[in-house]
Amino acid sequence: MGKRSGVVYLFMVLLMVGCTSNSSISGVSNEKSNIEENKVETKEIEEITELEEQEIVPEKRNELEKLAVEVNGKVYEESSQFSEYVSGVKTRLNTDDKVISLTLDACGGEFGSGYDNDLISFLIEQNIKADLFVNARWVEAQYDTFMELSQNPLFTIQNHGTEHKPLSLTPRSAWGISSTSTQSEIIDEIMENQLKIYDATGTIPKYFRSGTAFYDETSVEIAEDLGLQVVNFDVIGDGGATFTKGEVVQEMLKAQPGSIVILHMNQPDSETAEGVKEAVLSLLEQGFSFVHLQEYELH
């Protein structure tokens, strides 16, 4: 596997424009992560929510590693699709309720390891829920921030891959980024970061989004066999953190009941935060609320 310390190998011997080194799997910690009380300000009252303590269980980690080996041993059909919307990718909440899911990518890498504190602070001040899709490289670069966000009940931590690669069983590329090219590479891209997040937080992500959000249908099936739903979007909120404030507002206001919006939280010099502020307040005035992906079935 070259320079990669892959999940499958270890066990056997034991996006886009705004998302442009390698990571290894952390060791198991048997200590409890003591999670402090988080204060969430609302418009009317101040609530204090005490999170449940999360325990990193060696047996659970072993189960994840065994699952990776099991999936690597399966035989999958060759793929014929490669895009953001291949079979199996979820793009909306399955509801007519007036709700929207904000999904924020943190892509990592040389040009993608920043942190948009202005954006996150606004969401916290307004009591807005969001699902944070973090890449392993961003976690390493922003570890303290990552841990703080993981303990805030407004946010869930989801998997944005290990090296921010598109997923494919054969060599392809998207937005100038080379994809995985084998079954083992697909599993490593998913599971190395899955284990990194588990080791740090004691929680296992339920959702996965690849670098560039491109897949073939086989890689989506592999992700599902690894226990994850592949989640993209129906509203591109900030164009990989390249949109102007006005463009962000314009695109976000296209959201419909059940929309999933993609934004980026790793480009603090972009106009994403300013656009989100205006768009979110407008959507609230229209009667929308913001929910986590896990609150609804996806389709």
Low-confidence ranges of the chain (pLDDT < 50): 1-17, 20-53
Write the CA distances from 32 to 52, 200, 207, integer angstroms.
Answer: 11, 11, 24
Q: Does domain 92-299 have CATH number 2.60.90.10?
A: no
pLDDT at 102: 99
Ramachandran assignment for 98, one of left (phi > 0), alpha (psi -120 to 50 degrees), beta (any other): beta
Domain limits of the chain? 92-299
pLDDT at position 24 is: 36
Pairing mode of beta strands 46-49, 38-41? antiparallel
What is the predicted pLDDT for the residue at 26?
Answer: 34
Q: What pLDDT score was predicted for residue 57?
A: 82
Which stretches of the chain are DSSP H helices?
Answer: 7-13, 58-72, 117-125, 136-141, 143-150, 183-201, 217-225, 245-252, 272-285
Return the pLDDT at 270.
98
Query: What span, in angstroms and rounded, lies between the C-alpha atoms of 202 and 59?
Result: 12
